[in-house]
Amino acid sequence: MNALLTGTHATVEEARTFLQATGWDVIHLPLIATVSVPRRTWEHEALTSMGHEPHGTCIVTSKRAAADLSLLLAEHALPRGWNVMAVGEETGRAFHATGVPLTVIANGSTAAASLASAACDFTGTPVLLVGARLMDMGLADAVRGHGGIPHHVVTYDTTTPGEAREALRTLSSTTVDLGIFWSASAARAFASASRDSAAPTLSHAVAMGVQAAAPLEGIAPRIHTPTLPTTQSLLTLLTQLTQAISTASKEHA
């Protein structure tokens, strides 16, 4: 059995240790690199909006965005009349330590779907979408659908390194029993390569949340998500999949 792990070294360590101990051949291939936008660039945009408008909302769209906005609000208090929202429970937990009151938008199939179905009223007020340059641009449409005025505050860029794309291409003639995706960005990168026949075939995929699962629809025939977006929940799921995939392999041997 072989498994492809697409997260960073720190993210995948416990999963890799577990899989190797239970007989898996593990391929670790980080698909996404993040590059910070200089803080003075996006900080000025965010603070200007907060300073000029009596009411508004900041929406953090990822754990990385939550960390970036947390640093800003540690030095500059959130103005009265402004609110913070987070897309997904995991993003909300990443922001929780600031102590700033937070509304969590339940996960939908995508960030935009989550926001579009949420009970929001942004009528006539600015909404800062804080996150990656390549965030789900349907978010802006969802904000407009709730009457708001969207502003994209880019705090970081995401990219797939050339060596990662080449490594995927070298695996394109193989089948991978299990691919694990910790982010929607990694899932989108894999799906894009797969549609170009430049990635391995997946038998099973594990996605850490519905937003990471969405890009894999039509790419992996079986997509699994842990009960919770935690390492322990992931390991529980991997225990179940290890047994199921091992049994199926023996039956077809």
Task: List, for residues 158-202, the tens digit of each pLDDT value.
Answer: 889 999 999 999 999 999 999 999 988 899 999 999 999 999 999
pLDDT given for residue 12 in this prediction = 92
Q: Is the pLDDT of residue 78 over 70?
A: yes
List the domains of the chain with CATH numbers: 2-32+160-252 (3.40.50.10090), 36-157 (3.40.50.10090)
Mean pLDDT, residues 196-223 taken together: 93
| Reduced DSSP (H G I as helix, E B as strand, rest coil) percent helix, strand, coil of the chain, to 5 | 45, 25, 30
Mean pLDDT, residues 133-145 taken together: 86
Least confident of 16-20, 96-100, 148-152: 96-100
pLDDT given for residue 253 in this prediction = 61
With a pLDDT cut of 90, the percent of the chain lying above it is: 59
Q: Is the pLDDT of residue 108 over 70?
A: no
Band (pLDDT 50/70/90 cuts) for residue 53 is: confident
pLDDT given for residue 109 in this prediction = 63
**Residues 66 and 94 sit within 8 Å (Cβ to Cβ):** yes
Q: Is the pLDDT of residue 91 over 90?
A: no
Mean pLDDT, residues 101-118 taken together: 78
183 against 155, higher pLDDT: 155
Band (pLDDT 50/70/90 cuts) for residue 107 is: low
- DSSP annotation of 96: G
Mean pLDDT of the chain: 90
Mean pLDDT, residues 97-103 taken together: 81
3-class secondary structure, 193: helix
H or E element: which one contains 170?
helix 162-170
Angle at the Cα of 30 from the Cα atoms of 215 and 209, rounded to 5 degrees? 40
